[in-house]
């Protein structure tokens, strides 16, 4: 874990880097694979075998609980794997640790189920994976389990598949810990999780508050700078609606239905990639400029169920804050979440509180006469709240 120690005074941010206890952090590197047709068939066959094992392990747990009231655990199921490989020859071509990871996924699904039951939330009992719905398999110890980058850097050897062409669009860093082969539509990727040393940026005492929005601004800083909302989903909505109409007209199971389904998935994938790229670039700019970044600790899940859901999901606030957190941790910066209540209603100059409708973007404070922009004032209040409230200072991020 990379932990960031809390500075004694918010204004003394220049000492943050000196007080940080650096350890190795985990970082993911995702690369595109270009398998041949026989290799693609082998990859799909491996996914299908993993899917069948997942469903069988889930069925065993469910039957044991329903019929005899017994709980089947991870280690008990893992001990059956050698017999499965001995009795079913097709599983011999799949690495044993890949199969163990499948059992671990089932175990984690049940752990999440029981945790949600304990928290009295909607539990969501683990479900079976339908055909084509199991999209990745993992080598937990990549260096020891037959996943190796070959010397030329243009191919990667994958156990059971062979030497597959890969495009390393950026250099791989650190020590490889795990490797996950993933299918996204018609594309194949390999994701390496590596242990790397953090690269702290030069210390700075600059701090900023950011107010997240959906339209027309993605965020506004307390310094008055704005970042326009790209609204990738909204821009692609017409094309997506057309593709979905075409899909609805095709007979399920037919070749044309499959092709139309791939087209819809391709559009969604492009939107997701554009949004993720935007989040990475925006977060990097903030981390390079500021030592402390303060944002509202929003209930994004609740907002995603409200009438603003479409804009919130298109903006991708949750993903952006997650990316901002790990980039800040790697660079030796601090990210703080504060209570969002009344940030857009309080005057940052005198503190006078007045409720205003959302369409009012600029206003004059009736108490002190300051002319303010609603979002800039909110960002200034967010920054001031981190200075004033001890609760805000307790929010330190960590990268697993």
As a dihedral over the C-alpha atoms of residue 392, residue 290, residue 230, residue 278, rounded to 10 degrees, the angle is -100
Q: Decide: 37 and 71 in contact? Cβ < 8 Å.
A: no
Our answer to whether residue 173 is catalytic in this structure is no
Distance in angstroms (rounded) separating the CA atoms of residues 360 and 371: 13
Our answer to whether residue 205 is catalytic in this structure is no
The catalytically annotated residue of 107, 296, 330, 346 is: 296
In this structure, the strands spanning 25-34 and 162-167 are antiparallel
Our answer to whether residue 354 is catalytic in this structure is no
Neighbouring-strand partners of residue 32: 167, 189
Q: How many CB atoms lie within 10 A of CB 234?
A: 15
Distance in angstroms (rounded) separating the CA atoms of residues 258 and 261: 5
Tokens linked to 53: 């094992």
User: What one-character DSSP code corresponds to residue 206?
Assistant: -
In this structure, the strands spanning 207-212 and 292-296 are parallel
Residue (of 176, 134, 153) closest to 29 by Cα position: 176
The catalytically annotated residue of 211, 314, 330, 346 is: 211
Q: Decide: 137 and 98 in contact? Cβ < 8 Å.
A: yes
Three-state DSSP class for residue 328 = helix
**Tokens 């990210």 map to which residue?**
335
Tokens linked to 228: 């326009």
Q: How many CB atoms lie within 10 A of CB 74?
A: 16
Q: Where are the alpha helices (DSSP H) in the chain?
A: 37-68, 74-78, 81-87, 96-118, 232-249, 255-289, 300-303, 309-315, 317-331, 374-388, 390-393
Q: How far is CA 125 from the centre of its chain?
A: 23
Distance in angstroms (rounded) separating the CA atoms of residues 163 and 359: 58
The catalytically annotated residue of 42, 107, 314, 375 is: 375
Q: How far is CA 130 from the centre of its chain?
A: 24
What residues are labeled active site? Answer: 211, 296, 375
């Amino acid at each position: 874990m990379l932990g960031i120690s809390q500075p004694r005074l918010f204004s003394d941010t220049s000492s943050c880097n000196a007080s940080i206890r650096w350890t190795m952090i985990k970082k993911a590197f995702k690369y595109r694979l270009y398998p041949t047709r026989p290799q693609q068939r082998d990859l799909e066959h491996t996914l299908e075998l993993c899917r069948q094992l997942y469903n069988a392990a889930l069925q065993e747990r469910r039957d044991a609980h329903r019929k005899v009231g017994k709980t089947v655990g991870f280690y008990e199921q893992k001990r059956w794997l050698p017999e499965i490989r001995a009795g079913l020859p097709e599983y011999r071509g799949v690495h044993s640790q890949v199969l163990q990871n499948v059992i671990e996924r089932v175990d984690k699904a049940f752990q999440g189920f029981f945790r949600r039951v304990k928290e009295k939330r909607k539990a969501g009992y683990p479900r079976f994976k339908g055909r084509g719905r199991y999209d990745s398999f993992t080598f937990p110890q990549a260096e020891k389990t037959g996943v190796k980058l070959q010397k030329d850097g243009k191919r990667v050897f994958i156990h059971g598949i062979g030497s597959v062409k890969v495009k390393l669009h950026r250099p791989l860093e650190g020590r490889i810990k795990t490797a996950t082969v993933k299918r996204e539509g018609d594309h194949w990727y390999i994701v390496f999780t590596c242990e790397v040393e953090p690269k702290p940026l030069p210390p700075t005492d600059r701090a900023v508050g950011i107010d997240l929005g959906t339209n027309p601004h993605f965020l506004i800083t307390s310094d008055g700078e704005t970042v326009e909302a790209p609204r990738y989903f909204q821009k692609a909505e017409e094309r997506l609606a057309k593709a979905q109409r075409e899909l609805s007209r095709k007979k399920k199971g037919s070749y044309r239905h499959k092709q139309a389904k791939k087209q819809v998935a391709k559009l969604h994938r492009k939107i997701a990639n554009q949004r993720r790229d935007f989040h990475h670039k925006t977060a990097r700019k903030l981390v390079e400029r500021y030592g402390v970044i303060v944002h509202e600790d929003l209930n994004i899940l609740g907002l995603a169920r409200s009438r603003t859901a479409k804009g919130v999901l298109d903006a991708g606030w949750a993903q952006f804050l997650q990316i901002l957190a790990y980039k800040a941790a790697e660079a030796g910066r601090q990210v703080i979440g504060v209570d969002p209540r009344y940030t857009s209603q309080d005057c940052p100059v005198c503190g006078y509180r007045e409720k205003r409708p959302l369409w009012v973007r600029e206003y004059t404070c009736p108490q002190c006469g300051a002319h303010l922009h609603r979002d800039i004032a909110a960002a200034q209040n967010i920054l001031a709240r981190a200075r004033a409230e001890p609760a805000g200072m307790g929010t330190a991020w960590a990268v697993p």
